[in-house]
Structure 1
Amino acid sequence: MINSNNMIFFFGTRSTQVAAHQAKTNCAYCQQEAVWLFVYQHYFHIFWIPVFPLWKSTVSSCGHCKQTLTKKAFLPELQEDYIKVKQQAKTPWWTFSLLIAAVLLVVGSMILAKLA
């Protein structure tokens, strides 16, 4: 006998850009003044609905030669800009979407139970 009561869950992590900032330093590779810092907020999702935020990551990218570096490879000149942009990057409220919906559902059902 075959059991067909299986359900598929789509879950995992995704990221979204929360900040971008043009650095005041030149690219270490091409020496052009076109370095950008990007901060990404990573979050856990179920069925592509954000549940809760996880961590932030920062990368630098040269607009001229397209060299991309992670935080571990930042030069000391880029560290100052990194600290500044990291402080400005805020976690979006919508990364808590499923948690907010669950809390509203529980509170709403409690209110309806008291009214009945």
Structure 2
Amino acid sequence: MIFFFGTRSTQIAAHEAKANCTHCQQEAVWLFVYQHYFHIFWIPAFPLWRSTVSVCGHCKQTLTKRDFLPELQEDYTIVKQQAKTPWWTFFLLIAVVLLIVGSTILSRFS
């Protein structure tokens, strides 16, 4: 039997930063937060970690969190508080728990 599993990510927050790009000096920097999750047969099982990147809208320079300048760190804390883990990243875990609870309840009435 073949099992398809792995990790995927989805964007959970976006925020326009009040900082200039380090490359082109344009004020068009966006912060994006991604939630990574484990999946089995492309069904989300449980969330793993979050990652944050900044992207310049002009030159498309992309920086990871460790490369953020101090002015981006301020915006990072704002967007980090706004970003919530979507409930559907727990879908397979929720489904398994409901199946166990449902089968336990049905076995008591049998």
Tell whether the structures are fold-level matches, with TM greater than 0.5. Answer: yes
- CA–CA separation in structure 2 for the residues paired with 1:17 and 1:67: 18
The one of 13, 19, 25 equivalent to 1:31 is 25
Aligned residues: 110
**Residue 88 of structure 2: aligned partner:** 94
* Paired residue type of 2:61: Q
Unmatched tracts of structure 1, length 5 or more: 1-6
TM-score normalised per structure 1: 0.93
Unmatched tracts of structure 2, length 5 or more: none
- Confirm or deny that 1:19 pairs with 2:13: yes
**Runs of 4+, deviation exceeding 4 Å:** none
- CA–CA separation in structure 2 for the residues paired with 1:60 and 1:115: 56
- Confirm or deny that 1:108 pairs with 2:102: yes
- Confirm or deny that 1:43 pairs with 2:37: yes
CA displacement, residues 48-97 of structure 1 (integer Å, 9 cap, x when unaligned): 00110000000000001000000111111100000110111000000000
- Confirm or deny that 1:67 pairs with 2:61: yes
Q: CA RMSD in A?
A: 0.6
Q: Percent sequence identity over matched residues?
A: 82
Shift of 1:114: 1.1
- CA–CA separation in structure 2 for the residues paired with 1:11 and 1:86: 28
